[in-house]
C-alpha cells in the first residue's frame, strides 16, 4: 500500500478507519469420532494402565514409525518428558545444563528437580534459537547437558550444536514441545540429539489433554530401559518379571490409556496440521518481507518450520511507533496478536531472581556461582522487546492469511518514517 495514496481505507482502525479483518477467522474441530472410537476401545479393555493395555503402546509404535526412531517412552506431560530425559541421562546435583532464555518453564523444571543449575546461552536475533557460539562460551567442567528448544517449530542449528556437544562429551536433549514435524537438513527435530521431548498438552499441534513423549535416539536397549523406568518410579517392567527394587529416585510420569487412545487418532492428523501451518507461516513471510520496519520470522538455514506461532520483529528505527503501538494498531485491525512470547526472559522470573527453586531454600543454586540478571542474554531480551506474535493455525483460510498480511502492511505503511 502506498502511503501517499491517502484513501480512507489507509486510515488505521485504531484512529477510526475501517478494519482490515471483517470476517471471522476459520475454525474447526480438533477431536471427532476417531478419538471417540479409540477411547471406547480403551475403556473396553477393562484397564487404563499403559503397561497392560494396547493404546499407549500403539500410540508409541505409530509415533516411532512416523519419526523413524527405534524407541520412545510416553509421559504425563512435556515437562515430565524433559525431566525423564535429564534423569535418565544422569544429570544430577550441581551439574550445569545449558538452555534457552526464551521458553516455557517446562524446559527448566526438570533441570531444577534434578538439582542441576540452568545456564542460559543467548539467541540468534532472528531465528530466536540458541546461538552455537554462545553455548560454547558457557561450557565449564561442570556442564553435563544442553537442552535445545526449537522455538515455535523452527529448528536449532543442530550441526553446530551436535559438534560442540560431542567435542565436550555433553548430552543433547531436544525440547520439541513446539516443533512437531520440524526438519533440520532433512532430519526430524527430536531424532538428532540423544533424546527428543514432545508435549501433547492442549495448546500444542496435537492434544491428548496433557501428555508427552521421549525419543531414545542412541538405539541402545539399555538406554531405552533406563528412560522407560525413569518415567515409572524406576519400576523395571520390560522383559519378564517386574523389578521394583528402588535403585535411585524417579517420579511417576506415566501416561494413561485414555491419553494414548486420543493420541493414536491425533497422530493421524499431525501431518496435515503441520503442513498447513508451514504453508501459512511461509505465506506470511512472503507477504511481509520488505515492509518498512517489519522483520519476518527467519527460519534456520536448512530448516523446515511447522510454525507453532509466527513471530516477527518490529524495527522501531524505521517507524514512528513503538512495538506496543504497532501491536495495538494490529489488534484494532482485527488481528489478535501478542507483544512478545513471554513477558521477560525466564531468568528474570522470581524463581531465578530469588534463587528459590524450593520454597524457603536456595538449593541447588548455592552449589553454583551462576548469576541471573538483566543483560545476561542481550539478544533474547531485545527479541522480547521487539517481537509480535500472530497465530498461523491450521484452520485459518487463505483469506485469513491474506488479511493478516494486509493488516501488518497497513500498520507498517501508516507508521513508516519518510
Ligand atoms: C509446552 C512446552 C513445554 C511443556 O510441556 P507441558 O506438556 O505443558 O508440560 C516445554 N517446553 C516448551 C518449549 C513448551 O512449549
Q: How does pLDDT run along the chain (418 residues), one tens digit per residue? A: 444 445 666 899 999 999 999 999 999 999 999 999 999 999 999 999 999 999 999 999 999 999 999 999 999 999 999 999 999 999 999 999 999 999 999 999 999 999 999 999 999 999 999 999 999 999 999 999 999 999 999 999 999 999 999 999 999 999 999 999 999 999 999 999 999 999 999 999 999 999 999 999 999 999 999 999 999 999 999 988 888 878 899 999 999 999 999 999 999 999 999 999 999 999 999 999 999 999 999 999 999 999 999 999 999 999 999 999 999 999 999 999 999 999 999 999 999 999 999 999 999 999 999 999 999 999 999 999 999 999 989 999 999 999 999 999 999 999 999 8
Residues with Cβ within 8 Å of 88's Cβ and at least 6 positions away in sequence, in order, are 195, 223, 226, 227, 229, 230
Atom of ligand 1 nearest to the CA of 201: 7
pLDDT of res. 8 = 67
Considering only CA atoms, which residue is closest to atom 10 of ligand 1? Answer: 106
User: What is the CA(11)–ligand 1 centre distance, in A?
Assistant: 40
CB 286 within 8 A of CB 408: no
User: What is the CA(413)–ligand 1 centre distance, in A?
Assistant: 36
pLDDT of res. 177 = 98
Distances (CA, A) of 83 to 63, 73, 88, 130, 157: 20, 12, 8, 20, 23
Torsion angles phi and psi, residue 291, rounded to 5: -70, 145
pLDDT of res. 7 = 63
User: What is the CA(202)–ligand 1 centre distance, in A?
Assistant: 10
pLDDT of res. 362 = 97
Residue 118, C-alpha cell as written in the block: 540452568
pTM higher than 0.95: yes
CB 303 within 8 A of CB 278: no
26, with CB counted inside 10 A (0-12, 13-18, 19+), is middle
Distances (CA, A) of 77 to 48, 109, 120, 254: 17, 12, 23, 9
Distances (CA, A) of 45 to 39, 52, 174, 257, 385: 10, 9, 34, 9, 52
94, with CB counted inside 10 A (0-12, 13-18, 19+), is middle
Torsion angles phi and psi, residue 391, rounded to 5: -90, 155
CA dist., res. 165 & res. 40, Å (int):
45
pLDDT of res. 130 = 98
79, 208, 251, best to mutate for ligand 1 pocket (most atoms within 8 Å of CB): 79
Atom of ligand 1 nearest to the CA of 210: 7
pLDDT of res. 244 = 83
CB 334 within 8 A of CB 21: yes
Torsion angles phi and psi, residue 325, rounded to 5: -70, -35
Domains and CATH numbers, the chain: 33-266 (3.40.640.10)
Atom of ligand 1 nearest to the CA of 211: 7
pLDDT of res. 3 = 46
Atom of ligand 1 nearest to the CA of 82: 10
* Residue bearing cell 501508516: 414
Considering only CA atoms, which residue is closest to atom 3 of ligand 1? Answer: 106
CA dist., res. 83 & res. 399, Å (int):
41
Centroid of chain to Cα 242: 35
Residues with CB under 6 A from ligand 1: 77-79, 103-104, 106-107, 149, 175, 177-178, 199, 201, 210, 212
CA dist., res. 394 & res. 206, Å (int):
11
Amino acid at each position: 500500500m502506498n502511503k501517499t495514496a491517502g484513501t480512507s481505507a489507509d486510515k488505521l482502525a485504531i484512529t477510526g478507519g475501517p478494519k482490515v479483518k471483517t470476517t471471522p477467522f476459520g475454525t474447526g474441530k480438533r477431536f471427532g469420532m476417531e478419538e471417540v472410537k479409540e477411547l471406547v476401545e480403551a475403556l473396553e479393555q477393562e484397564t487404563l494402565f499403559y503397561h497392560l493395555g494396547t493404546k499407549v503402546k500403539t500410540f508409541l509404535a505409530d509415533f516411532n514409525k512416523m519419526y523413524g526412531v527405534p524407541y520412545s517412552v510416553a509421559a504425563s506431560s512435556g515437562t515430565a518428558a524433559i525431566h525423564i530425559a535429564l534423569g535418565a541421562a544422569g544429570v544430577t546435583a550441581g551439574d550445569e545444563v545449558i538452555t534457552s532464555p526464551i521458553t516455557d518453564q517446562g524446559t527448566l523444571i526438570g533441570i531444577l528437580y534434578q538439582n542441576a543449575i540452568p545456564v542460559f546461552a543467548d539467541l540468534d536475533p532472528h531465528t530466536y534459537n540458541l546461538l552455537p557460539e554462545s553455548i560454547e562460551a558457557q561450557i565449564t567442567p561442570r556442564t553435563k547437558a544442553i537442552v535445545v528448544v526449537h522455538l515455535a517449530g523452527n529448528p536449532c542449528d543442530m550441526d553446530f550444536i551436535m559438534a560442540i556437544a560431542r567435542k565436550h562429551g555433553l548430552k543433547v536433549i531436544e525440547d520439541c514441545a513446539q516443533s512437531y514435524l520440524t526438519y533440520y537438513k532433512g532430519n526430524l527435530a527430536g531424532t538428532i540429539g540423544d533424546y527428543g521431548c514432545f508435549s501433547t498438552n492442549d495448546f500444542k499441534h496435537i492434544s491428548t489433554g496433557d501428555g508427552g513423549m521421549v525419543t531414545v535416539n542412541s538405539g541402545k536397549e539399555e538406554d531405552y530401559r533406563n528412560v522407560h523406568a525413569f518415567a515409572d518410579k524406576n519400576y523395571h517392567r520390560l522383559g519378564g518379571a517386574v523389578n521394583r527394587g528402588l535403585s535411585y529416585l524417579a517420579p511417576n510420569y506415566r501416561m494413561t490409556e485414555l491419553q494414548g487412545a486420543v493420541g493414536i487418532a491425533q497422530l493421524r492428523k499431525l501431518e496435515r496440521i503441520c503442513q498447513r501451518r508451514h504453508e501459512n507461516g511461509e505465506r506470511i513471510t512472503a507477504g511481509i518481507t520488505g515492509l518498512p520496519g517489519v522483520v519476518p520470522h527467519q527460519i534456520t538455514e536448512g530448516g523446515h518450520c511447522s510454525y507453532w506461532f509466527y513471530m516477527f520483529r518490529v524495527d522501531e528505527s524505521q517507524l514512528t511507533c513503538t512495538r506496543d503501538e504497532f501491536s495495538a494498531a494490529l489488534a484494532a485491525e482485527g488481528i489478535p496478536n501478542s507483544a512478545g512470547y513471554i513477558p521477560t526472559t525466564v531468568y528474570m522470573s522470581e524463581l531465578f531472581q530469588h534463587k528459590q527453586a524450593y520454597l524457603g531454600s536456595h538449593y541447588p543454586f548455592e552449589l553454583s556461582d551462576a548469576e541471573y540478571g538483566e543483560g545476561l542474554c542481550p539478544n533474547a531480551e531485545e527479541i522480547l522487546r521487539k517481537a509480535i506474535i500472530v497465530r498461523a493455525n491450521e484452520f485459518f483460510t487463505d483469506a485469513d492469511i491474506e488479511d493478516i498480511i494486509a493488516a501488518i502492511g497497513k500498520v507498517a505503511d501508516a507508521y513508516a518514517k519518510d
